[in-house]
Amino acid sequence: MNRRERQGVILRLIQERQISTQSELSEALHNEGYEAVQTTVSRDIAELGLRKVRGESGRLVYAPPGAADSARVRELTVALRRSALAIESNEHFVVITTPSGYASALAQVLDESAHPLVLGTIAGDNNIFVAPREGVSGARLRDELRTHLLEGAA
């Protein structure tokens, strides 16, 4: 077995199962007929760019790069629904209006969500200034954030 095959198996395994540790990954590889020592598994994880995200079970599990952390996305949706009074934008920026005193907490949730379109936030008492990543318009980010307000709405 070469490195490319092993890494392909690793990607398949983490998509099929919730694997939390290098030991679990080594054992899963062993059960598939592949032998790999812990240092090899560790190197494969780094080369593949795997990251830990919160899975449906609530455990931190390995996921491919760019995989959404379902708990953080859910938390962002709940926080926006609870606190956002308005989400507006111009060409370059987004402003989220909240009740007095709520902006800082909502900005923290937004920052911790590691939203792929958000570069960062600055919070006041009742407003959050949201800077989109390069190449992302304010309108695109505004529209995406507004989808969280509509998820599950009938």
CATH 1.10.10.10 domain residues, the chain: 3-63
CATH 3.30.1360.40 domain residues, the chain: 70-150
Q: Mind listing the pLDDT tens digit for each residue in 65-83?
A: 766 666 778 889 999 999 9
SS (H, E, C) the chain: CCHHHHHHHHHHHHHHCCCCCHHHHHHHHHHCCCCCCHHHHHHHHHHHCCEEEECCCCCEEEECCCCCCHHHHHHHHHHHHHHCCEEEECCCCEEEECCCCCHHHHHHHHHHCCCCCEEEEEECCCEEEEEECCCCCHHHHHHHHHHHHHCCCC
Predicted local confidence at residue 72, as pLDDT: 76
What is the pLDDT of the chain when averaged over all its residues?
Answer: 89
The residue among 6 and 72 whose pLDDT is bigger is 6
pTM, entire model = 0.60
Predicted local confidence at residue 114, as pLDDT: 79
Asked if pLDDT for residue 17 goes beyond 50, the answer is: yes
Predicted local confidence at residue 95, as pLDDT: 98
Contact 145, 138 (CB under 8 A): no
Share of the chain above pLDDT 90, in %: 56
Mean pLDDT, rounded, for 130-136: 93
Q: Mind listing the pLDDT tens digit for each residue in 75-111?
A: 899 999 999 999 999 999 999 999 999 999 999 999 8
Domain spanning 70-150, CATH class:
alpha beta
Range 3-63: architecture per CATH: Orthogonal Bundle (1.10)
